[in-house]
Structure 1
Amino acid sequence: MFYRLSGVYQTNYAADRKLWKIPADRWQVIAVLVLALMAPLYVSPLYLGSYVLPWVIWSAAALSLTLLMGMAGQLHFGFAAVMAIGAYSSIHLVRAGIPFEIALILSGVVSAVIGTLFGGAALRVKGLYLVMATLAMQYLVDWVVVNVPWISGGAHATLRTPAVNFLVMPIDSLAARYWLALGWAVLITLFFLNVKRTSFGRALVAIRDKDFAAAVIGVDPFRTKLAAFFTSSFLGGVTGAILAFCYYRAVTPEQFGFNVSIQLVAMVLVGGLGSVIGSYLGAGFVLLAPIFLTNAISSLAAAGWVPVSQNFLSHLPLIIYGAMIIGFLLFEPLGLAKIYDNIRKYFLVWPFRHAKS
């Protein structure tokens, strides 16, 4: 049997609080991590730079937003603006002579401060009103980036990232940029897994479920939400800097528009709110599904199996992609993480059946 355990039995709190309650889970994570580290050795540069690298970075971005949306229950439709602040801040800091390692941290701090200012102003509202407040942040940051030349160089300017070193390792090759992005994604993953077990993580969950009830038991809703906005914005800012230096290599205002914020929200929702594995699955789905659908449908059209016009063919993958998202929301609202959990629990007791009462 794969899991070698029919059921999960914890007899004390220490066993229940373990990250990997089942030994097979730990070995699976180690195996995936080893495969990820060795990816530059067996994945072609084309697929590594076009598929694997952006998947890793956007998974880190989805995890950053999941802390705010999944754990704290605060909607944010302007997270691309947070990443834009981190990206532009890191480039200007490095050009000012600050080491890249410190520039990453400072760019996260700048994003956290600005994100917290908007978050603090939005904490008195909920639901759609909070969505509108975060949208205001998105459009305000977009306007500032486009209309302040010393930040971006102008509406149509391209700001190139300078050559940098990370811990004396030059970040110039594709493998080095991939390993840096992977290291940051692993660091956020470990943080997210452990924050769930802390008092701060439990306070976030209490605020998400019912902030009035959380206040009754001693949780300060304002400070907790503010800390959630600060932490999530810090992680998002550093991720934006990683995205700029490791993937884009040149930043334009169009790369952090409102459509990117919508994609990030879709990654969190499709993957599963509050789930680590869901962030990776959601980022992979939103990022890679349109590419695979486009390639598959183009191949079918070239073979004559899809007799449609070229205009309709160009929009057909997006139609199928949207239908798949609606299908997830209708038939599995908890996202891809729940589907994975169902499969995992099936093998947990396989080949036995659940006892019937």
Structure 2
Amino acid sequence: MFYRLAGVHHTRYQSARRLWPVPADRWQVLFLLALAVVAPFFLSNLYLGSYLLPWLIWSAAALSLTLLMGTAGQLHFGFAAVMAIGAYSSIHLVRFGVPFEIALVGAGVTAAVIGSLFGMAALRVKGLYLVMATLAMQYLVDWVIINVPAISGGAQATLRTPTVSFLLVPVDSLVSRYYLALIWVVLVTLFFLNVKRTSFGRALVAIRDKDFAAAVIGVDPFRTKLVAFFTSSFMGGVSGAILAFAYYRAVTPEQFSFNVSIQLVAMVLVGGLGSAVGGFLGAGFVLLIPIFLTNLVAWLAGAGWIAISANLIAHVPLMIYGALIIGFLLFEPLGLAKIYDNIRKYFLVWPFRHSRS
């Protein structure tokens, strides 16, 4: 079998520090990356623009929040506001004549600075008190965006994104917007995987487990938490900008409401705290499973397999979706990433007896 630990000898530090020491893992990642690169050539515009493109962008946003919630252990229920700051900042910067590449960085810095100001509450409070601080950020940013016409144009206004180019390539077609999102999610994933192996990543884990003990061994809780909020907000701001330019192409305040923050938290929890795979799985579960269930229930009702009213058809998928979330929290609290890891470890030692333990 190709999925084996046999033959993997850690004789050098370089091989032991690899992201994927098992060759099969590396081939799996390369295969999935190759599929993502050639996806525009064999997928229709419907599947590419309505399913794959938003999944990539929201996966990047979920990974940005996972860095803060999963790795650093800091709760954040206002991350949609961070993305909104990035989206509106990037649009206004481009309108002022700033190149799109610099506008993305500016959007990330703006979101990081504002996010860090509210993240300073984490320096004194934690738990539910920190949740209240991030909720205050969500509602305050919503209020400012709606009531300051210079930012959004008004409560009912729609702000269209200008035509831009990324690295001299016009970002106007669906394929170019897809590759922009793919480049960003690959960068976020590589950063997330590597940051956990650095001293900063280990400091985040120490803060998450016990901040007082981390301070005793030399970790500065003030600086570490502040950098965690800054980094996570920066990536969230850039994700919001790419969401606006590559997917929505026109933004409104309702697109970054409190419900979106709850969905982002659900992506992190269902996918698995602190897991890169969990970011992708959680985003796919929250975004795509409701659509799949709606189509499945409608098909079963149309084929005569189930006899329910049209009104009930719209609510049954939501009921099943809620039951699935409860099931995951009950039977596998560590999320979809843990289920994937269990399956992977099973095949690493199958068919030997200890594979069943």
Shorter-chain TM range is: over 0.9
Is contact 2:108–2:237 with CA below 8 Å preserved after alignment?
Answer: yes
Which residue does 2:260 correspond to in 1?
Answer: 260
Aligned residue type for 1:78: G
TM value normalised by structure 1 = 0.97
| Residue 27 (structure 2) pairs with residue 56 (structure 1) | no
Deviations 1:291-326 (A, max 9, x none): 000010111122232222322221111111011001
Deviations 1:270-301 (A, max 9, x none): 00000001100000000000000001011112
Runs of 4+ more than 6 Å apart: none
Q: Following TM superposition, by how much is the alpha carbon of 1:4 offset from its aligned partner in structure 2, in angstroms?
A: 3.6
Is contact 2:81–2:138 with CA below 8 Å preserved after alignment?
Answer: yes
Identity of aligned residues (%): 79
Is contact 1:51–1:288 with CA below 8 Å preserved after alignment?
Answer: yes
Is contact 1:6–1:350 with CA below 8 Å preserved after alignment?
Answer: no
Q: Tell me, in whole angstroms, the C-alpha distance in 2 between the residues paired with 1:266 and 1:356.
A: 31
Q: Tell me, in whole angstroms, the C-alpha distance in 2 between the residues paired with 1:298 and 1:138.
A: 36
Secondary structure, aligned partner of 2:354: coil
Ranges in structure 2 where 5+ consecutive residues have no aligned partner: none
TM value normalised by structure 2 = 0.97
Aligned residue type for 1:228: A
Q: Tell me, in whole angstroms, the C-alpha distance in 2 between the residues paired with 1:168 and 1:14.
A: 37
Q: Tell me, in whole angstroms, the C-alpha distance in 2 between the residues paired with 1:194 and 1:9.
A: 22
Q: Tell me, in whole angstroms, the C-alpha distance in 2 between the residues paired with 1:329 and 1:125.
A: 26
Secondary structure, aligned partner of 1:354: helix
Deviations 1:67-101 (A, max 9, x none): 00000000000000000000000000000000000
| Residue 328 (structure 2) pairs with residue 322 (structure 1) | no
Is contact 1:6–1:349 with CA below 8 Å preserved after alignment?
Answer: no
Which residue does 1:46 correspond to in 2?
Answer: 46
Is contact 2:95–2:162 with CA below 8 Å preserved after alignment?
Answer: yes
Aligned residue type for 1:131: V
Q: Tell me, in whole angstroms, the C-alpha distance in 2 between the residues paired with 1:13 and 1:236.
A: 33
Which residue does 1:230 correspond to in 2?
Answer: 230
Aligned residue type for 1:174: L
Which residue does 1:37 correspond to in 2?
Answer: 37
Q: Tell me, in whole angstroms, the C-alpha distance in 2 between the residues paired with 1:234 and 1:203.
A: 19
Aligned residue type for 2:156: H
Are the structure 2 counterparts of residues 320 and 272 from structure 1 closer, same or farther at C-alpha, using a change threshold of 3 Å?
A: same
Aligned residue type for 1:138: Q
Q: Name which of structure 1's ranges 180-189 and 293-302 shifts more when overlaid on structure 2.
A: 293-302
Secondary structure, aligned partner of 1:141: helix
Deviations 1:24-78 (A, max 9, x none): 1111111111110110001111100000000000000000000000000000000
Q: Following TM superposition, by how much is the alpha carbon of 1:20 offset from its aligned partner in structure 2, in angstroms?
A: 1.1
Are the structure 2 counterparts of residues 208 and 13 from structure 1 closer, same or farther at C-alpha, using a change threshold of 3 Å?
A: farther
Q: Following TM superposition, by how much is the alpha carbon of 1:353 offset from its aligned partner in structure 2, in angstroms?
A: 2.4
**Alignment: residue pair count:** 357
Which residue does 1:142 correspond to in 2?
Answer: 142
Q: Following TM superposition, by how much is the alpha carbon of 1:352 offset from its aligned partner in structure 2, in angstroms?
A: 1.8
Which residue does 2:107 correspond to in 1?
Answer: 107
Which residue does 2:183 correspond to in 1?
Answer: 183
Which residue does 2:313 correspond to in 1?
Answer: 313
Which residue does 1:117 correspond to in 2?
Answer: 117
Secondary structure, aligned partner of 1:172: coil
Which residue does 2:87 correspond to in 1?
Answer: 87
Q: Following TM superposition, by how much is the alpha carbon of 1:6 offset from its aligned partner in structure 2, in angstroms?
A: 4.6
Ranges in structure 1 where 5+ consecutive residues have no aligned partner: none
Aligned residue type for 2:137: M
Aligned residue type for 2:228: A
